[in-house]
Structure 1
């Protein structure tokens, strides 16, 4: 069912710095910019895009929306989180760590990107 995720940005250069750092921390390549000015990231079969809104309005984060990014290890999630904070993101919620609930154990690390989009690194334990 899932094909891709796209978020809006008001500053594509700032977003490129942030997402190049976070995806780079988990082995991804820097984003490419297409002929429409959108950033495109491809990693582990997933497609993630960043764009200025096509309607010309300001980009705003989705209320209640979280984008989950699969991690191979808790250490990878920590590297992703640290790279994001260093590149202008904001650490949110509890510090990275294991969360228990519903017979599941998850390692989670949450950030907001420079435009306020909520991101989560997730490793199922």
Structure 2
């Protein structure tokens, strides 16, 4: 259903440091800048972009929005640690298993330096 995800940033250099660290921690590669000044990350068939807002207004995070990345629990731990070290903020509970609604998941949450909410998710199957 989705073709890509994009978040806004007020500081592309700061965002590149953060997202390069988190994508490398989950087994991806550093992002590249396209001719419009957007960061482009491609991993596991998905595309994730970081951009200064086209309308010239400051970037703001979407309240209630979360972008989830599928990965193993080990990748989630590395992703979380790399994100905190690269300027992100750990939010919600520490990385670990959550159960509810008949599901069991390994989750880790971060806010990027611009306030966007990110989630590492692994569905646990018994």
Question: What range describes the TM-score normalised by the shorter chain of this pair?
Answer: over 0.9
Q: Does 1:83 align with 2:82?
A: yes
Matched with 1:40 is 40
Q: Mind listing any 5+ residue stretches in structure 1 that lack a counterpart? A: none
Length, aligned pairs only: 124
Matched with 2:20 is 20
TM-superposition CA deviations, 1:8-55 (whole Å, max 9, x none): 000000000000000000111100000000000000000000000000
Q: Does 1:58 align with 2:58?
A: yes
1:17 partner SS:
helix
TM-superposition CA deviations, 1:57-114 (whole Å, max 9, x none): 000000100000000x211100000000000000000000000011100000000000
Matched with 1:111 is 110
Q: Which runs of 4+ in 1 moved over 4 A?
A: none
Q: Mind listing any 5+ residue stretches in structure 2 that lack a counterpart? A: none
Q: Distance in 2 between matches of 1:96 and 1:17?
A: 22
Matched with 1:100 is 99
Q: Distance in 1 between matches of 2:2 and 2:93?
A: 28
1:77 partner SS:
helix
Q: Distance in 1 between matches of 2:27 and 2:77?
A: 13
1:64 partner SS:
coil
